[in-house]
Structure 1
């Protein structure tokens, strides 16, 4: 039996665990990751990388590799509802509705104004190898697949785990100061008494991953196409490109059937159903996997027990609507990594890690609730055209014929449905859910202001420099080089952004950095400063005067701000750091 001592042990090598490994490496934290499977995901699973996640990947040098394989926005920026993919019947291949989604089409300008990168589409089976490569390059020999944690115990000042090599059977004892459970809730959370709260499984969904050439019929530029069968509600489904090529060149697909009993089809019996649904009776289909999975709406009652923390699906599980699951997990890891680094380096008290739960659990609650709401409302959208499960099979055709009726009455039917379709912007245009989440209680210094009011559908984002919020994005320049304000934030550093009259803050930052043994990058933005605010975007978003200052954490969230100057900037900054790091 071997033995290893390491500051952090990560259990789970999916999207969340691998991201945590990358972020910890960039923080200079030695760690070990173990994953029981021999390789990364073999099925596509989550496929939408939202704007905030892409910003995080940009900060950590991963975004370019993701974008090299991901579908560009013009390949997935719409959501469609139609009757069938092919066929020559009177109700076949009929477009019911389409709308811009996730930054596509008319939304592009709004999304582009919100951040330096647009969203991307890359299913987990293609994303995870990229993350694994980055994790292994930054932490050689410490990313172990086909290794399983068989048991662990929290000893108060450290955690002891037994890890088995599933190839050789060898057992290694791993002693760590902290353990991160990113295992999807398989073992870690339950072992320390964490409970997942929420209703029993909502519904069973059958997903088929298959390869087929659909180029003759597929409409390019669609993230997801919902098929509403004129005859059989069990044939209502949605179809999603899964790459590795995109648009009409796509080779692999994910087909989610309407909720139904588990085990209804296998790799062979599902093929006729695919052909029937798509109305392509001679389609050559290669089925890779048929899975039944339960849609959950669960949130962990705690994110930390002693020296054990959970993240990703181990902490929250929600319907896939809005694409918040994987993104929330990656953002969990981003929040946690800098805090672990600060504590392990002795720059902060262990209580800083408590703020991981106080900050991220409310976000997890909101995201679970939002996904449930969006999924529930989508059923109302389908019912609006008479193609939901609530419409008897015998009336579905009649309702759809009424929808397509060219008469004045048909105009009214379509107009009514259009108003309901428009409410779906809360599911596929919810920009503020992607970049507008914020923290009210945690590693920050409240300034007494109220958060900006959020648009009920979350389809508008109002940037703010209020403590707890993500730093507003604005384009700035220096020596002809164009950067985002988010690019000024370091992976390990705190960043102090000031106006052109902020020299006293910058000088104070150098002294405070030495006092607290932290790194602070101090930057003046504006005329005569270190960076030029060329188009006035920063001045419009900063909410401070030319003499004010904003302190930004390594995870790009605002920790503290002073709207103006100070008689004693060193004391003000020192008090801010003492509060944030609990010194």
Structure 2
């Protein structure tokens, strides 16, 4: 029997990301994936800036942007609605927060990262290469057959290539095995939400669509032909390789998929070459589009993440973002419990923090899907579509790991500015042309204390707490310009978790800073 600290079931975006973030905390991981290799299908069509921030912590931002530079080619960032691609286009844009800015009419840039229009297949290949370089073991063609758990760990029976059997003993298991998660079924965990909305059929194709585009930029086209729920977008910057998807009745496989493409483009004589999505398989792939959230995110030592925990329509890249955030939130907590820095109760905050985010993002993705795809049913009806920046940067956790949070507090904050539970603000501390440093670059593997210009008592208390509790903690002094956006006075202090979320804040001095700061750290770490 092989022993590992963490077994990750599922080698797609969320599972690979969980392994990357656990490796960042030096936790050995075994990843098993039932498919023989990374799926050659774009699925997620781009990384939102918040997801890029998390990969930036792991040192992957340069590699990702090298594969697909942000905003280039620019046509990938333009979304349109039309009856056919050749017909009139209506630009689609998300709502923005018109009040965002610093008060003088200058919009703030909330992140050091940009949207990157990278396909999920390219991203997953990059993550696999990174994990193999770091020594993480990935077993493709291997599936979880059965699991049992007790008070000390999880025993997993695996079936590998050729039917080989292996038993693995893990302290914890991360189930990132997709929307039809067998792990979730074994645990008997149900889900809540509108459920399956329709089946989507997808194609990869090569064609010259210049006659339909007529020079118009299109990053994603939402079309009414051949049926509502049709999407067409570029696979790369060549202008000749495209991703096509449309809704189909259950069990329906068209006899003429090329006719679908011609109907969608409005070019009846278009020369279309269908490309393989999976070598040797039918070029037409189908999968369910749905909206639901698991009733609970954990059972004992097994944790659900990504599509195993929540399924949402693929509009706005919210499903991918939610899965990457799940992995990031869970990774530091598992790592710190495994190495004894935190108590096991910290893991209970994974559900209390992440499930409300998934519920909200699922509703938002559904509302966007209704607007762009004319989705059936009543789900999302009347749901106001919120600005993307609010969904990315305004998330507010309320849990025992945020001792400064208030029960019943709003789960979204329009302008967080250091509010406990929210992602700490991005501000540049150095804008050197070769290496601009953001305050976000301070976070990732340890607790961070930020203190105001006159916050020496808090700094000294933080150093003593780190020493007495054997906790990795760094202390930084902020000048007045950096302290104010964090909601700090000159004598205040703020504690940030490894995931970059603010745990606790005090705006001024205290009679006993050692007692106050130590109490905050103990609360964060469930000690």
Tell me the TM-score normalised to structure 2 length: 0.88
- SS of corresponding position for 1:373: helix
Counterparts in 2 of 1:439 and 1:272: CA distance versus 1, 3 Å: same
CA positional deviation for 1:242? 2.0
2:299 and 2:411 mapped to 1: Cα distance?
A: 34
CA RMSD of aligned residues (A): 2.9
1:119 aligns with 2:115: yes
Counterpart CA distance in 1 for 2:406 and 2:167 is: 49
Among candidates 367, 374, 382, match of residue 368 of structure 2 = 374
User: 1:296 aligns to what?
Assistant: 290
Preserved contact between residue 212 and residue 265 of structure 2 (Cα < 8 Å): no
Q: Map Cα deviations across residues 16-40 of structure 1 (whole Å, 9 max, x no partner).
A: 0000001001111112111111111
1:237 matched to 2:237? The reply is no
CA pair 302-475 structure 1, distance change in 2 beyond 3 A: same
How far does residue 301 in structure 1 lie from its aligned partner after superposition?
0.7
**Structure 1 residues 559-581: Cα deviation after superposition (integer angstroms, max 9, x where no partner):** 11111122222211110011111
Which of 399, 409, 416 is matched with 1:463 structurally?
Answer: 416
Q: Is the counterpart of residue 513 in structure 1 residue 466 in structure 2?
A: yes
Secondary structure (helix, strand or coil) at the match of 1:492 reads: coil
Max Rg structure: 1
Secondary structure class of the residue paired with 1:120: coil
Other-structure match for 1:569: 513
Q: Is the 8 A contact 1:11 1:17 kept in 2?
A: yes
**Structure 2 match to 1:439:** 397
Is 2:437 aligned against 1:486?
no
CA distance 1:264–1:442, change in 2 (3 Å): same
- Cα deviation, residue 355, structure 1: 0.5
TM-superposed deviation, 1:100: 4.4
Residue deviations 1:101-149 (CA, integer Å, cap 9, x gap): 599xxx9999871111111111111110011111222234x22212222
What is the rounded CA distance, in whole Å, between the counterparts of 1:55 and 1:159 in structure 2?
A: 32
Q: Which moved more, 1:201-210 or 1:305-314?
A: 201-210
Give, in whole Å, the separation in 2 of the partners of 1:345 and 1:502.
Answer: 31
CA distance in 1, matches of 2:324, 2:228: 34
Say whether the 8 Å CA contact 2:18–2:327 is kept in structure 1.
Answer: yes
Please state if 1:129 is matched with 2:130: no
Deviations 1:18-67 (A, max 9, x none): 00001001111112111111111121111121111011011111111111
Question: 5 Å matches for 1:447-458?
Answer: none
Q: Any unmatched runs of 5+ in structure 1? A: 87-92, 383-387, 390-422, 456-460, 528-535
Other-structure match for 1:426: 385
1:12-23 paired onto structure 2 within 5 Å: 12-23=10-21
Contact 1:464 1:472 in 2 (8 A): yes
What is the CA-CA distance between 1:241 and the residue it aligns to?
Answer: 1.6
CA contact 1:209–1:254 (8 Å) conserved in 2? yes
Instruction: After TM superposition, give the deviation of residue 376 of structure 1 in Å.
Output: 2.3
Farther off after superposition, 325-334 or 67-76: 67-76
1:225 to partner: Cα distance: 1.3
Following the alignment from structure 1 to structure 2, what is the Cα–Cα distance between the partners of residues 356 and 342?
A: 13
Establish whether residue 525 from structure 1 lines up as the match of residue 512 from structure 2.
no
Shift of residue 171, structure 1, vs aligned partner: 2.0
Give 1:165-184 correspondences, 5 Å limit.
Answer: 165-167=160-162, 169-184=163-178
Partner in structure 2 of residue 82 of structure 1: 82
Q: Is the 8 A contact 2:31 2:139 kept in 1?
A: yes
After superposition, residues 257-296 of structure 1 pair within 5 angstroms as 257=246, 259-266=247-254, 269-280=256-267, 281-288=269-276, 289-296=283-290
* Unaligned 5+ runs, structure 2: 277-282
Alpha-carbon distance in structure 1 between the residues aligned to 2:523 and 2:432: 36
Shift of 1:200: 3.8
CA distance in 1, matches of 2:206, 2:220: 16
Write 1 or 2 for the structure with the bigger share of helix.
1
Between the aligned partners of 1:40 and 1:471, the Cα distance in structure 2 is 34
Of 449, 453, 456 in structure 2, the residue corresponding to residue 503 of structure 1 is 456
Match among 510, 522, 526 for residue 578 of structure 1: 522
Tell me the CA shift for residue 182 of structure 1. 0.5
Structure 1 residue 291 displacement after superposition? 2.4
**DSSP 3-state at the match of 2:189:** coil
Q: Which residue of 2 aligns with 1:207?
A: 202
Report the Cα offset of residue 463 of structure 1: 2.9
Deviations 1:419-458 (A, max 9, x none): xxxx99937x522112222211241112559967969xxx
Determine if contact 1:112/1:118 at 8 Å carries over to the other structure.
no
CA-to-partner distance for each residue in 1:172-210, whole Å, 9 max, x for gaps?
Answer: 221111011010142111111211222342222322222
- 2:411 and 2:158 mapped to 1: Cα distance? 48
Please report how far the alpha carbon of residue 300 of structure 1 lies from its aligned counterpart in structure 2 after TM superposition. 0.5
How many residues are paired up?
505
Q: Which consecutive segments of 4 or more residues in structure 1 shift more than 6 A?
A: 107-112, 478-481
* Contact 1:51–1:435 (CA under 8 A) maintained in structure 2: no
Deviation string for 1:289-312 (max 9, x for gaps)? 222322211111111101111100
Q: Given the superposition, is the C-alpha separation of residues 379 and 341 from structure 1 closer, same or farther in structure 2, using an over 3 Å criterion?
A: closer
Tell me if the contact between 1:206 and 1:262 (Cα under 8 Å) persists in the aligned partners: no
Aligned residue for 1:399? none
Kindly report which structure 2 residues correspond to 1:41-120, keeping only aligned pairs within 5 A, or say none: 41-70=39-68, 72-73=70-71, 74-86=74-86, 93-95=87-89, 97-100=90-93, 113-120=109-116
Instruction: Measure how far apart 1:14 and its partner are.
Output: 0.4
Distance, in Å, in 1 between the alignment partners of 2:391 and 2:367 is 13
Tell me the TM-score normalised to structure 1 length.
0.80
Instruction: Give the Å deviation of 1:483.
Output: 1.5
Q: Secondary structure of 1:118's partner?
A: coil
* TM-aligned CA deviation for residue 84 of structure 1: 2.9
